[in-house]
C-alpha cells in the first residue's frame, strides 16, 4: 500500500500526540452516556452484584446445599490450589475458594467486553463521521493515532476493572474475611493476574479489534467482527487467567510474559493496517 | 531577479484507486501568497490533489514538492505548515467548539493553557463563531460548522491553506462571507489553494486558475492570462438606432471580426484602446450610437472553452449569449 508515513515512521514517537488523541477520544466517550452507562452496569453486575449475592448466600445464610456442592467442586482444583484455601469450617473454605478462584472470569470478561465495544467504533467511526479527514491531514503520525486510540479503548475497560476489583476486594474481605482470620484479598496471584496477565490480553484483543475497525466499512460491521474475535480471546484469556491463579506465581508470570510477547506482535502488525487512506475512507488504494 | 520558488509543485503525478485513475499525470505550480483555484467537475481529481499535497496519499508516479519538501517523506513537517478544510467540516459533534479547536491546537503543537485559549477565541472571532465556542458542535448549523472549521484551519497560523469546497452546503449569504474571509487571508501572506466546481465562486477570487478534468490539468494561469490566451482580441458590443449603420465598422482600422444581429453588432478588435476611435467614426458617419459595451469573458466562458478544447468555437457561443 502506498499510503505510508515514511517520514513519521522514522521519527521518534511524540507522546504528546498519543495523549491528545487518547484524551479527546475519552472526552467524547464521557459525553456519550448511552455508551458508558451500560459499561458501568456490566462492571457492577460482575464485580458487585453477583459476588455479593453468592458470597452472602454461602457464608451468612449458611446455605448447606450450596456449601456442600461447592466443597465437592473444590476437589477438582489442583492440589497446590487446594492447599492454599484458608478457613477452619466448610463454609469458610467454600467462601474463600469462591472469592479467590471462581471469579477469575470477571477480571477478563469485563475489560475485554468494554474495551472491545469502544475499540470497534474508534477508527471506522472517524471515517463515518468524516473526522478522519482532520486526523489524516494533521501532523500526528499514524502510529501515534493508532496508539492514542488503543489507549482510549483500553483505559475504559481496564479502569472499570481496576475500580471494580477494588470494590470486589472490599466485598470479599467484608463477607468472607471474618471467617478466615481477617482481610486476605487480593492474594498475590490476583495481583499478578490484574497487573501482569490481564493487560496484555486486553492489548492483544484490541490490536485485533482496531485492525478490524480500520478495515471494515461501518461501525455495525466492526462490532459484529469484533465480537467474533473477542469471544475466543475471552475464552483463551479466561483459561489462562484461571491457570495463573491455580498454578501459583511462576505460572502466572510465565503466562503473562507470553501474552505480552503476543500483544507486542499484535500491536506491531496492527499499526501497519491503519493508514491515512483508511482514515479518509479510501481502502482500495494501490 | 530570480522567480521565487512555487509553494507547491506537482510534476506528472499519477494516483489510482482500483481501476480508477484519479490523477493521470497532473503537473501544476502554485505560487506563494496567492489564491489558486482548482476547478473541475466532480471526479476531476481536485480532492485527490489536495490529499497528495498534505502527504495523506503518496504518488505512484511523478513528484510532489510542498515548501520544497516531499510530503510522502516529510509529511509531518508539511502538514504542520498547512491548514485544511475539507468538503465536510470534519468536526467532533460530541465536543464543544472550544474542545474541537483545543484538539487541533494540541496536535499542531500549540499546547494548552490560557494563551492558547486566547488564540482560539481570536481565530473564532475572525470568523464570527466565538460566541458559540462553549456549545456542543452537534447543535451547530452548517454555516457555523464551516466557520468553526475555517477557524481551526488558521489557528496555528499556517503558511498554506487548502480548502476543498469550503462553501459546500452553505446558503448564498454565508458563502459570500466565507469567500470574503478567504480573500482576506492572503493579505497576511498565506497561500490559498481552493477546490470548487462552482464557477461563480471562483470568479473574482482566483489569482490563478487550474482546470482539471479526468485527473489531468487542462490549463493553468491567471484568469487574465488565460482569457487573453483564449480570446486574444478585444470584444465590444455596439448598438445604434439603425443597426445597419454599424456595418461601416467592418472596414475600420483594427477590426478583426464583425458580426451583427437585428439589434446589435459584436466587434472584435486587435486592441481595446481602439474603442473610442470606433465611437468617433460611427458618430461622424451619422449613426446614433445607443450602446457601447466591452465584453470581458467570464471564468465560466473560459472553463467551458478549455473543456471543449476550442476557444474560438466557444467564442461564437459567448458572443451569441451576449447578444
Residues 6+ apart with CB under 8 A from A24: B92, B95, B99, B103
The confidence score (pLDDT) of residue B311 equals: 41
Based on the domain organization, do B253 and B158 belong to the same domain? no
Residues of chain A in contact with residue B18, where contact means CB-CB under 8 angstroms, are 284, 286
Whether residue B112 is contained in a domain is answered as yes
The confidence score (pLDDT) of residue B135 equals: 97
Whether chain A has a CB inside 8 Å of the CB on B241: the answer is: no
Test mutation, A32, A139, A141, A152, chain B, max B CBs within 10 A? A139
Distance from chain centroid for Cα B195:
7
Examine residue B272 and say whether the peptide bond preceding it is cis (omega within 30 degrees of 0): no
Candidates B74, B84, B109; nearest CB to A7:
B74
Candidates A28, A133, A277; nearest CB to B94:
A28
Residue B74 sits in a domain whose CATH number is 3.40.50.300
The average pLDDT across B165-177 equals 82
Instruction: Report the relative pairing of strands B289-294 and B234-240 from DSSP bridges.
Output: antiparallel
Whether residue B54 is contained in a domain is answered as yes
Based on the domain organization, do B180 and B294 belong to the same domain? no
The confidence score (pLDDT) of residue B320 equals: 39
The confidence score (pLDDT) of residue A283 equals: 61
Residue B232 sits in a domain whose CATH number is 3.30.70.100
**Hey, is B196 helix, strand or coil?**
strand
Based on the domain organization, do B88 and B177 belong to the same domain? yes
Based on the domain organization, do B304 and B168 belong to the same domain? no
Higher pLDDT, B134 or A186: B134
The confidence score (pLDDT) of residue B310 equals: 39
The average pLDDT across B168-196 equals 84
Higher pLDDT, A251 or B191: B191
Whether residue B2 is contained in a domain is answered as no
Hey, which residues 107-146 in chain B have their CB within 8 Å of chain A? 107-109, 136
Q: Spell out the SS3 assignment of B127-178.
A: CCCHHHCCCEHHHCCHHHHHHHHHHHHHCCCCCEEEEECCCCCCCHHHHHHH
State yes or no: pLDDT of B83 exceeds 90.
Answer: yes
Whether residue B1 is contained in a domain is answered as no
Based on the domain organization, do B127 and B218 belong to the same domain? yes
Q: Is residue B232 within 8 Å of B60, Cβ to Cβ?
A: no
Whether residue B84 is contained in a domain is answered as yes
Domain boundary pick from B185, B203, B222: B222
Residues of chain B in contact with residue A118, where contact means CB-CB under 8 angstroms, are none
Residues of chain A in contact with residue B76, where contact means CB-CB under 8 angstroms, are 5, 7-8, 11, 139, 141
The confidence score (pLDDT) of residue A243 equals: 67
- The alpha carbon of residue A223 is apart from the nearest alpha carbon of chain B, in Å, by 21
Cβ distance of A7 and B88 shorter than 8 Å: no
Candidates B57, B88, B136; nearest CB to A133:
B88
Cβ distance of B55 and A7 shorter than 8 Å: yes
Domain boundary pick from B222, B243, B272: B222
The confidence score (pLDDT) of residue A10 equals: 66
Cβ distance of A140 and B84 shorter than 8 Å: no
Hey, which residues 251-280 in chain A have their CB within 8 Å of chain B? 276-277, 280
Whether chain B has a CB inside 8 Å of the CB on A72: the answer is: no
Whether residue B302 is contained in a domain is answered as yes
Whether chain A has a CB inside 8 Å of the CB on B96: the answer is: no
Whether chain B has a CB inside 8 Å of the CB on A1: the answer is: no
Hey, which residues 2-21 in chain A have their CB within 8 Å of chain B? 2-8, 11, 16-17, 20-21
Based on the domain organization, do B239 and B176 belong to the same domain? no
- The alpha carbon of residue A205 is apart from the nearest alpha carbon of chain B, in Å, by 26
Nearest CA in chain A to B110: A16
Based on the domain organization, do B94 and B193 belong to the same domain? yes
The confidence score (pLDDT) of residue A3 equals: 47
Domain boundary pick from B222, B251, B269: B222
Based on the domain organization, do B212 and B140 belong to the same domain? yes
Total structural domains within chain B: 2
Question: B312: domain range?
Answer: 228-322
The confidence score (pLDDT) of residue B208 equals: 93
Distance from chain centroid for Cα B233:
24
Nearest CA in chain B to A8: B76
* H or E element at residue B238: strand B234-240
The confidence score (pLDDT) of residue B317 equals: 43
Based on the domain organization, do B200 and B305 belong to the same domain? no
Nearest CA in chain B to A285: B17
pLDDT over 70, % of chain B: 95
Residues of chain A in contact with residue B91, where contact means CB-CB under 8 angstroms, are 131, 134
The confidence score (pLDDT) of residue B85 equals: 95
- Residues in chain A predicted with pLDDT less than 50, given as ranges, are 1-4, 284, 286
Residue with cell 492447599: A83
Closest by CA to A194, choosing from A229, A225, A224, A166, is A166
The confidence score (pLDDT) of residue A5 equals: 58
Whether residue B166 is contained in a domain is answered as yes
Q: What ipTM score was computed for the predicted complex, to two decimals?
A: 0.85
Candidates A17, A20, A131; nearest CB to B90:
A131
Residues of chain B in contact with residue A21, where contact means CB-CB under 8 angstroms, are 107
Whether residue B44 is contained in a domain is answered as yes
Residues of chain A in contact with residue B95, where contact means CB-CB under 8 angstroms, are 24, 27-28, 31
Nearest CA in chain B to A144: B107
Candidates A4, A27, A28; nearest CB to B58:
A4
- pLDDT tens digits for B27-79? 999 999 999 999 988 889 999 999 999 999 999 999 999 999 999 999 999 99
Q: Spell out the SS3 assignment of A122-176.
A: HHHHHHHHCCHHHHHCCCCCHHHHHHHHHHHHHHHHHHHHHHHHHHHHHHHHHHC
Based on the domain organization, do B28 and B119 belong to the same domain? yes
Based on the domain organization, do B209 and B317 belong to the same domain? no
State yes or no: pLDDT of B312 exceeds 50.
Answer: no
State yes or no: pLDDT of B323 exceeds 70.
Answer: no
Whether chain B has a CB inside 8 Å of the CB on A128: the answer is: no
Hey, which residues 53-82 in chain B have their CB within 8 Å of chain A? 54-60, 72-77, 79-80, 82
Of A149-158, B198-207, B282-291, the poorest mean pLDDT is in: B198-207
Q: Is residue B29 within 8 Å of B9, Cβ to Cβ?
A: yes
Based on the domain organization, do B213 and B232 belong to the same domain? no
Amino acid at each position: 500500500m502506498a499510503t505510508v508515513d515514511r517520514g513519521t515512521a522514522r521519527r521518534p514517537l511524540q507522546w504528546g500526540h498519543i495523549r491528545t488523541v487518547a484524551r479527546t477520544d475519552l472526552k467524547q466517550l464521557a459525553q456519550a452516556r448511552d455508551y458508558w452507562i451500560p459499561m458501568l452496569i456490566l462492571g457492577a453486575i460482575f464485580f458487585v452484584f453477583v459476588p455479593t449475592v453468592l458470597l452472602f448466600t454461602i457464608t451468612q445464610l449458611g446455605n448447606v446445599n450450596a456449601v456442600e456442592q461447592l466443597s465437592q467442586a473444590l476437589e477438582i482444583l489442583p492440589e497446590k490450589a487446594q492447599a492454599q484455601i484458608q478457613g477452619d469450617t466448610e463454609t469458610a473454605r467454600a467462601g474463600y475458594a469462591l472469592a479467590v478462584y471462581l471469579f477469575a472470569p470477571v477480571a477478563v470478561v469485563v475489560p475485554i467486553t468494554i474495551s472491545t465495544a469502544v475499540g470497534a467504533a474508534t477508527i471506522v467511526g472517524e471515517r463515518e463521521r468524516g473526522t478522519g479527514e482532520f486526523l489524516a491531514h494533521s501532523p500526528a503520525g499514524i502510529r501515534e493515532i493508532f496508539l492514542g486510540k488503543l489507549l482510549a479503548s483500553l483505559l475504559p475497560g481496564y479502569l472499570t476493572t481496576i475500580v471494580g476489583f477494588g470494590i470486589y476486594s472490599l466485598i470479599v474481605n467484608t463477607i468472607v474475611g471474618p471467617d478466615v482470620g481477617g482481610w486476605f484479598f487480593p492474594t498475590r496471584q490476583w495481583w499478578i493476574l490484574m497487573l501482569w496477565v490481564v493487560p496484555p490480553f486486553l492489548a492483544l484483543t484490541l490490536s485485533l479489534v482496531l485492525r478490524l475497525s480500520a478495515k471494515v466499512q461501518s461501525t455495525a460491521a466492526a462490532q459484529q467482527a469484533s465480537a467474533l474475535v473477542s469471544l475466543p480471546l475471552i475464552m483463551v484469556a479466561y483459561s489462562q487467567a484461571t491457570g495463573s491463579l491455580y498454578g501459583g506465581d511462576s505460572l502466572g508470570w510465565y503466562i503473562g510474559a507470553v501474552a505480552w510477547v503476543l500483544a507486542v506482535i499484535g500491536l506491531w502488525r496492527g499499526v501497519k493496517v491503519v493508514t491515512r487512506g483508511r482514515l479518509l475512507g479510501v481502502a482500495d488504494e494501490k | 531577479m530570480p522567480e521565487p520558488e512555487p509553494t507547491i509543485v506537482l510534476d506528472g503525478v499519477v494516483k489510482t484507486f482500483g481501476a480508477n485513475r484519479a490523477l493521470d499525470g497532473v503537473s501544476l505550480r502554485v505560487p506563494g501568497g496567492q489564491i489558486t483555484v482548482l476547478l473541475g467537475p466532480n471526479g476531476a481529481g481536485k480532492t485527490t490533489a489536495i490529499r497528495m499535497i498534505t502527504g495523506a496519499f503518496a504518488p505512484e508516479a511523478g513528484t510532489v514538492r510542498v515548501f520544497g519538501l516531499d510530503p510522502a517523506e516529510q509529511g509531518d513537517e508539511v502538514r504542520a505548515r498547512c491548514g485544511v478544510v475539507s468538503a465536510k467540516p470534519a468536526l467532533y459533534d460530541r465536543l464543544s467548539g472550544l474542545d474541537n479547536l483545543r484538539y487541533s491546537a494540541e496536535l499542531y503543537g500549540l499546547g494548552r493553557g490560557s494563551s492558547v485559549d486566547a488564540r482560539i477565541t481570536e481565530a473564532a472571532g475572525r470568523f464570527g463563531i466565538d460566541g458559540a465556542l462553549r456549545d456542543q458542535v452537534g447543535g451547530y448549523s452548517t454555516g457555523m460548522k464551516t466557520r468553526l472549521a475555517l477557524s481551526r484551519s488558521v489557528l496555528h497560523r499556517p503558511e498554506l491553506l487548502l480548502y476543498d469546497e469550503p462553501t459546500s452546503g452553505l446558503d448564498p449569504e454565508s458563502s459570500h462571507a466565507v469567500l470574503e474571509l478567504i480573500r482576506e487571508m492572503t493579505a497576511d501572506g498565506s497561500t490559498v489553494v481552493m477546490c470548487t466546481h462552482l464557477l461563480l465562486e471562483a470568479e473574482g477570487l482566483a489569482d490563478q486558475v487550474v482546470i482539471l478534468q479526468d485527473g489531468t490539468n487542462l490549463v493553468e494561469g491567471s484568469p487574465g492570462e488565460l482569457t487573453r490566451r483564449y480570446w486574444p482580441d478585444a470584444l465590444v458590443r455596439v448598438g445604434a438606432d439603425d443597426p445597419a449603420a454599424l456595418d461601416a465598422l467592418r472596414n475600420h482600422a483594427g477590426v478583426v471580426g464583425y458580426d451583427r444581429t437585428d439589434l446589435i453588432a459584436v466587434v472584435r478588435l486587435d486592441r481595446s484602446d481602439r474603442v473610442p476611435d470606433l465611437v468617433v467614426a460611427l458618430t461622424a458617419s451619422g449613426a446614433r450610437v445607443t450602446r457601447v459595451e466591452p465584453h470581458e469573458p467570464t471564468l465560466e466562458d473560459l472553463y467551458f472553452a478549455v473543456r471543449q478544447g476550442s476557444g474560438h468555437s466557444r467564442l461564437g457561443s459567448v458572443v451569441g449569449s451576449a447578444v
